Amino acid sequence: MSVVSYQLEGEIGVIRVNNPPVNALSHALRSGIQEAVIQAKLDSSLAIVLICSGRTFIAGADISEFGKKPQSPSLSELLAIIEASKKPIIAAIHGTALGGGLETALACHYRCALASAEVGLPEVKLGLLPGAGGTQRVPRLTGVKAALDLMTSGAPISATKALSVNLIDKIVEGDLLSQAIAYGKEIIAQGAKIKKVRDIKVDDVGISDEFFREYSQQLSKRYRGQKAPQRILKCVEAALSQTFEQGLKTERKLFVECMESSQSAALRHMFFAQRMAAKIDGLPKDTPIKDIKKVGIIGGGTMGGGIAMNFVNVGIPVTLLEINAEALQRGQDIIAKNYARTVNKGKLTAEQASARQNLITGTTHYDELAEMDLVIEAVFENLDIKKQVFRKLDQVCKQGAILATNTSYQDVNDIAKATSRPQDVIGLHFFSPANVMKLLEIVRGDNTSDQTLATCMAMAKIIKKVPVMSGVCYGFIGNRMLRQYGREAQLCLLQGASPDDIDSVMQNFGMAMGPLAVGDLAGLDIGFKAREALTAEQKGDVKTYCIADALYKMGRLGQKTGAGYYRYDPQTRQRFSDPIVEQVIEEQAEKYSVERHGLTEHTILARLTFALINEGFKILEEGIAQRPSDIDVVYVNGYGFPAHRGGPMFYADTIGLEKIYKTIGEFASTYGEEYWQPAALLKQLVEEGKTLTQWANS
Ligand code: T1G
């Protein structure tokens, strides 16, 4: 089936694109449009409409073609042909005209769109820049600042907003094709003028070198370490200082730099990894999915309240259960405070916030959960308490209700055994703050049914979460790996580094926050209590957490007490190194006869990241994660790992498995073999000379 068709409708030639699912600009699509434009040139048409079937106008270049041998016509070649047409071409936009899709519309002479349509240039999210004239055409229509905001944010804008900045010429209602044809006839009646965006001069009023310098500084702060945003800025500067053709050449040069960068390879990897994570190997495509119309949540603490918000935000009513009226009120107050914050930021109106809160019914009676389709337990992180809750749920909930635990660590199989319906039991591990963090670890128990699993994967998308399936182990995927990363942070402290040494290394690497600052944010009591629940064997070498334990016992719980690994300004919450902490570290090192030596940044980075990666290999060996890219999705969406490094496992291939394996061997001899045992899979791939990506695709 051809992805492009052409037919004459009166005096209007109609080019129809049909390349599901998003009309991405594959080679076939580019060739098809080229042929159609040439055909229209020769027939009796007086104007041409370019329209797409399916759910959206062209949503961009075909990302899956990147990195492969380019095939003519390139997108730029095609857009030059469109723009050179002697007959006006009208782009008829619906859905989301993104990236190369919007650039195609901008090469047309007119643009109309449904009011529901959106347009955007998300290339920056892939470590790229609009490489088919977008950096040169957009400023000519919108002006410099609006163009930079559009291209460096990568966020789509509504048709109304697009009209206001001249990206589209007309908003139409009803049937897009007939409206676009009518618009074409209007244009013909007005002389069928050819309006080329390239002929417009950029409005540079108020745009100085200082403007670009300041904008560049803002971009450096917002996109720490990323190169594409700065290159977009350079392209827009060229749109002011160079001719259109020269500007296209500048854009091309900088686009190729982006395309060839490891940052773009990593971000493109993350684009597909996130979509792949939603696919469960071996789960039949026709697995029936249950309707989730009513949700019960047990526990109105920070987590329970945040979880509840995810559902009412998409219109699903929630029954929130607490042990007594006071606790319930506290839970509802947490939710109210969260919404008030969102309203203050202007992201919601007060009416919207209140409509959502009105979808939450509080109760202290389990019987009220009898008709729930899904119940999520978010009580204290204690296995016995959780088992009691599930025994109760087993008694009151209707047959077929999905019973989920939000546990971070406990064994989902043990919890399932507390019920008579283990097939309906699953883990839904949200990340705090649950109404903000995108990641949702979906923990499949030994007896979790395909239907329960498929329903939760689908539900995740409805509540706008990024789902990753995990098997059952201590800490699932994210927290299990985090323990190794945290362990090395603690041992680096004991062996010679300061909190700031470690956190600056990891922040310069691109982590949102360093591990010790994260500890202070979460509260050192959380970690201490989690360690208290461990067996001696699970705890490992007692000196590992001696500093964290000492600070906890001093009442230094982190930001909440004004001091932890750092001291915090009570007003600004700015953190400062604290000599008391240095003293605690020295005392603990002496207590455990550990000689402290300065650690290089390279050593700190290698110890923390390779500990993370090595555990990731073990998780893959055990089948806890389906594929390496799932682990990357967990770390980028749940732990602030820089997306432009592709997640820990993609990063491992970037570093090279042999180098990691050898370094782990060196760490074993320097720091002891207790923690530095290379994963068998890592050893195997090094011996086979394979990358992790090759292994995953084999
Ligand atoms: N290329 C190839 N495949 C794509 C694709 C693309 N651009 N966009 C989506 N897909 C696939 C996706 O992998 C999934 O496949 C299916 O379509 C549905 O996607 C020269 C260089 C359009 C908002 O960055 O933002 O143009 O998993 O699950 O949630 O300047 O897809 O079903 O096999 O995301 O409804 C710029 C990326 C490219 C847009 C729809 N464009 N796509 O969201 O569906 S670079 C983008 C999206 C470029 C030019 C530059 C979203 C969507 P599968 P989905 P959705």
Q: Check pocket membership of 62 for ligand 1, CB cut-off 6 A.
A: yes
Q: Check pocket membership of 279 for ligand 1, CB cut-off 6 A.
A: no
Q: From CA 287, how far away is CA 455, in angstroms rounded? A: 9
How many angstroms separate the alpha carbon of residue 287 from the centre of ligand 1? 25
Q: Check pocket membership of 19 for ligand 1, CB cut-off 6 A.
A: no
How many angstroms separate the alpha carbon of residue 77 from the centre of ligand 1? 22
pLDDT in tens, 552-586: 999 999 998 999 999 999 888 899 999 999 999 99
According to the model, what pLDDT value does residue 526 have?
A: 87
How many angstroms separate the alpha carbon of residue 59 from the centre of ligand 1? 6
Q: Which domain holds residue 46?
A: 4-259
My answer on whether 483 and 466 are in the same domain is no
Q: Backbone phi, then psi, for 47, in 5-degree steps?
A: -155, 160
Q: Check pocket membership of 264 for ligand 1, CB cut-off 6 A.
A: no
My answer on whether 223 and 356 are in the same domain is no
- Catalytic (active site) residue 103: yes
Q: Check pocket membership of 275 for ligand 1, CB cut-off 6 A.
A: yes
My answer on whether 493 and 415 are in the same domain is no
Residue owning the nearest CA to atom 54 of ligand 1: 275
Pairing mode, strands 425-430 and 360-363: unpaired
According to the model, what pLDDT value does residue 475 have?
A: 92
Q: Check pocket membership of 131 for ligand 1, CB cut-off 6 A.
A: yes
Contact 235, 136 (CB under 8 A): yes
Q: Count Cα neighbours of 74 within 13 Å in the Cβ-side half-sphere.
A: 10
According to the model, what pLDDT value does residue 1 have?
A: 67
The CATH number given to whatever domain includes residue 50 is 3.90.226.10
In DSSP terms, which residues pair with 364 in a beta bridge?
A: none
Q: Check pocket membership of 96 for ligand 1, CB cut-off 6 A.
A: yes
Q: Count Cα neighbours of 603 within 13 Å in the Cβ-side half-sphere.
A: 15
According to the model, what pLDDT value does residue 529 have?
A: 87
Residue owning the nearest CA to atom 40 of ligand 1: 22
3-state secondary structure (DSSP) of residue 85: coil
How many angstroms separate the alpha carbon of residue 643 from the centre of ligand 1? 17
My answer on whether 483 and 463 are in the same domain is no
Residue owning the nearest CA to atom 46 of ligand 1: 60
My answer on whether 214 and 167 are in the same domain is yes
- What ligand 1 atom has the least distance to the C-alpha of 279? 27
Q: From CA 428, how far away is CA 639, in angstroms rounded? A: 17
Q: Check pocket membership of 63 for ligand 1, CB cut-off 6 A.
A: yes
Residue 284 lies in a domain: no
Q: Given 423, 451, 473, which residue is the final one in a domain?
A: 473
Q: Check pocket membership of 123 for ligand 1, CB cut-off 6 A.
A: yes
Residue owning the nearest CA to atom 43 of ligand 1: 22
How many angstroms separate the alpha carbon of residue 264 from the centre of ligand 1? 15
- Name the stretches of the chain with pLDDT < 50: none
DSSP state of 202: P
Q: Which of the residues 83, 103, 118, 615 is marked catalytic?
A: 103
- Catalytic (active site) residue 377: no
Q: What is the pTM of this model?
A: 0.93
Residue 390 lies in a domain: yes
How many angstroms separate the alpha carbon of residue 430 from the centre of ligand 1? 26
Q: Check pocket membership of 75 for ligand 1, CB cut-off 6 A.
A: yes
- The DSSP result for 394-451, as a single string, is HHHSPTT-EEEE--SSS-HHHHHHTSS-GGGEEEEEE-SSTTT--EEEEE--TT--HH
Number of domains in the chain: 3
- What ligand 1 atom has the least distance to the C-alpha of 75? 20
Determine if residue 282 is left, alpha or beta; phi over 0 gives left, psi from -120 to 50 gives alpha, anything else beta. Answer: left
Q: Out of 19, 22, 30, give the residue to mutate to test ligand 1, the one with the largest number of ligand atoms within 8 Å of its CB.
A: 22
Task: Please name the residues in contact with 58: beta carbons below 8 A apart, sequence gap of 6 or more.
Answer: 17, 22, 23, 24, 25, 29, 52, 97, 98, 100, 101, 104, 105
Q: What is the mean pLDDT of the chain?
A: 95
Residue 305 lies in a domain: yes
- What ligand 1 atom has the least distance to the C-alpha of 255? 21
How many angstroms separate the alpha carbon of residue 281 from the centre of ligand 1? 22
In DSSP terms, which residues pair with 112 in a beta bridge?
A: 92, 170
Residue owning the nearest CA to atom 42 of ligand 1: 59
Q: Given 420, 444, 473, which residue is the final one in a domain?
A: 473
How many angstroms separate the alpha carbon of residue 400 from the centre of ligand 1? 35
My answer on whether 203 and 55 are in the same domain is yes
- What ligand 1 atom has the least distance to the C-alpha of 55? 35
Q: From CA 332, how far away is CA 318, in angstroms rounded? A: 12
The CATH number given to whatever domain includes residue 529 is 1.10.1040.50
My answer on whether 585 and 672 are in the same domain is yes
My answer on whether 247 and 186 are in the same domain is yes
530 exposure class (CB count in 10 Å sphere: 0-12, 13-18, 19+) = middle
- What ligand 1 atom has the least distance to the C-alpha of 125? 24
Task: Please name the residues in contact with 298: beta carbons below 8 A apart, sequence gap of 6 or more.
Answer: 304, 321, 369, 375, 376, 377, 378, 379, 389, 393
- What ligand 1 atom has the least distance to the C-alpha of 129? 30
How many angstroms separate the alpha carbon of residue 99 from the centre of ligand 1? 10
Contact 610, 667 (CB under 8 A): yes
Residue 641 lies in a domain: no
Q: Check pocket membership of 128 for ligand 1, CB cut-off 6 A.
A: yes
Q: Which of the residues 83, 118, 123, 377 is marked catalytic?
A: 123
My answer on whether 414 and 484 are in the same domain is no
How many angstroms separate the alpha carbon of residue 443 from the centre of ligand 1? 27
According to the model, what pLDDT value does residue 484 have?
A: 95
Contact 5, 30 (CB under 8 A): no
My answer on whether 456 and 592 are in the same domain is no
My answer on whether 506 and 465 are in the same domain is no
Q: Check pocket membership of 99 for ligand 1, CB cut-off 6 A.
A: yes
Q: Given 426, 449, 473, which residue is the final one in a domain?
A: 473
Residue 439 lies in a domain: yes
Q: Check pocket membership of 169 for ligand 1, CB cut-off 6 A.
A: no
Residue 650 lies in a domain: no
Residue 287 lies in a domain: no
Q: From CA 9, how far away is CA 5, in angstroms rounded? A: 13
The CATH number given to whatever domain includes residue 332 is 3.40.50.720
My answer on whether 553 and 468 are in the same domain is no
Residue 645 lies in a domain: no
According to the model, what pLDDT value does residue 205 have?
A: 87
The token pair at 42 is 């020769």
Q: Check pocket membership of 549 for ligand 1, CB cut-off 6 A.
A: no
